[in-house]
Amino acid sequence: MEGAHEKLLHLTFEEAERTESSENADNRKFQSSKFMLWLQIFIFTFFVLGGQAVGTLLGRVYYEQGGKSRWLATLAQTAGFPILLPFICYPSPKNHNEDELTTHHPSIFVRASVYIFLGLFQVVNSMSFTVGVQYLPASTYSLISGTQLAFNAITSFFLNGHKITAIILNSVVLLSFSSSVVIFQNETGDSGEISQKSLLIGFAVTTFGSLGYALQFSLTELAFQKVFKSNTLKQVMKMSFFIGFFVTIASLIGLFASGNWRDLEKEIGEYRTGKSSYFINLICTAISWQLYAVGSFGLVSKASSLFSNVIINFGGSIVPIFAMVFLKDRITGLKVFSLLLGLWGYASYIYQHYLDDLEAKNSEIKASDNQDDDF
């Protein structure tokens, strides 16, 4: 009888060890998966911040050195899509979990419709930002474009089901006021004479572009979730490539239909720093904005459209610093005040993200404790 009892205890102990070993393995796998997720988010964040800063400053330099074509500047924002071709053609490694998510592929017609719709939507948004950066100093333009986060908080609530807490609402109000307050400042001291009329035009079109991009990002997240049902790196590359392709085609049509292409030869010849500098500027602009696009789509797929716009807004806070260093923009007291409000709004959202993570961890601990009690 005692031997049978000892044997039962031994089997129970072995079963407990196997269960603990399995739990440890699952925990290590979970930690590794979480590390890879945050590593990808970090890389995409670097692409967004770097691409946004360089692309914005180069766009400003293009106009300051004699560039005049809005269609060409819009084209440069998406023409870098061919650099993604090797990544799309390269066969991705098989992953069991990803295969499960991508078992049911949408038809070519559905995929093409999504790419074309989002692409044409981006043409309008890109043209809005192109006009905005022409009429506004780089620092002011970046601060106004930060309203993407405010608008996206609303669109993501209705389209993506993201909650709006008191902290996020606080962030939205702060960022909206941060971006709007700069219209009351006379900008004539930054980069040549800028009239009040030009300032208002730049403010209006940049705000419209921010609203359009907020809606586009929410629709992109919806496409990842409901249409493609995949958030793999290759799908991110495909999204960026095909949208860039269709936007480039639309921009080329606009360039030739408007007759703007006839002035390009004269524009190149009159470019103050020379032809080589002209083409280098456009090539670097295209590459910068393509990295920005990959990063922003990547953050939408791996986190959310709202998280992506938080990083974009943070990038808007960095650009004025580079504009001050490289373009000699003057940072006034009102801009500093607006910038601080923007950073406060950004910090509010990050704090909400921290609270959400903390709540998720507590839920996991409670679920694990309940399983132990059942055992």
Question: Does pLDDT of 155 surpass 90?
Answer: no
Give the model's pLDDT for residue 245. 92
In order, the DSSP letters of 66-89 are: T---HHHHHHHTTTTGGGGHHHHH
Among the ranges given (112-126, 272-286, 355-369), the one the predictor scored with the smallest mean pLDDT: 355-369
Alpha-carbon distance values, 322 to 60, 136, 204 (Å): 12, 16, 24
Region 105-118 average pLDDT: 88
Do 208 and 144 form a contact (C-beta atoms < 8 A)? no
pLDDT tens digit string along 33-72?
Answer: 778 887 898 899 899 989 999 998 998 899 889 988 888 8
User: Which residues, including other chains, have CB under 8 Å from residue 303's CB and lie 6 or more apart?
Assistant: 41
The three-state secondary structure class of 191 is coil
Tokens 């007759």 appear where? 259
Question: Does pLDDT of 84 surpass 90?
Answer: yes
- The DSSP code for 146 is T
Give the model's pLDDT for residue 241. 94
Please tell me the distance from the alpha carbon of residue 189 to that of residue 167, in angstroms, as a whole number: 36
pLDDT tens digit string along 226-249?
Answer: 898 888 888 999 999 999 998 899
pLDDT tens digit string along 164-173?
Answer: 888 878 877 7
Q: For residues 74 and 79, which has the higher predicted lDDT (pLDDT)?
A: 79
Please tell me the distance from the alpha carbon of residue 314 to that of residue 146, in angstroms, as a whole number: 8
Written as one letter, the residue type at 9 is: L
User: Which residues, including other chains, have CB under 8 Å from residue 170's CB and lie 6 or more apart?
Assistant: 345, 348
Question: Does pLDDT of 156 surpass 70?
Answer: yes
Region 75-93 average pLDDT: 85
Give the model's pLDDT for residue 221. 92
- On the CB side of 299, how many CA atoms lie within 13 Å of its CA? 23
Among the ranges given (7-11, 112-116, 173-177), the one the predictor scored with the smallest mean pLDDT: 7-11
Please tell me the distance from the alpha carbon of residue 133 to that of residue 194, in angstroms, as a whole number: 12
Please tell me the distance from the alpha carbon of residue 204 to that of residue 184, in angstroms, as a whole number: 14
Radius of gyration of the chain (CA): 25
Helix residue spans in the chain (DSSP H): 2-64, 70-76, 85-89, 96-101, 108-135, 138-145, 147-159, 166-180, 196-222, 233-257, 264-270, 275-302, 305-326, 333-374
Question: Is the C-alpha dihedral spanning 128, 132, 133, 134 positive or negative?
Answer: positive
Give the model's pLDDT for residue 101. 44
Region 311-336 average pLDDT: 75
Among the ranges given (118-132, 190-204, 282-296), the one the predictor scored with the smallest mean pLDDT: 190-204
pLDDT tens digit string along 173-227?
Answer: 776 676 556 555 555 445 455 677 778 888 888 888 888 888 888 999 999 988 9
Q: What is the dihedral of CA 47, 51, 52, 54, to 10 degrees?
A: 150
Token reading at 88: 């799309």
Give the model's pLDDT for residue 97. 47
Q: For residues 316 and 227, which has the higher predicted lDDT (pLDDT)?
A: 227
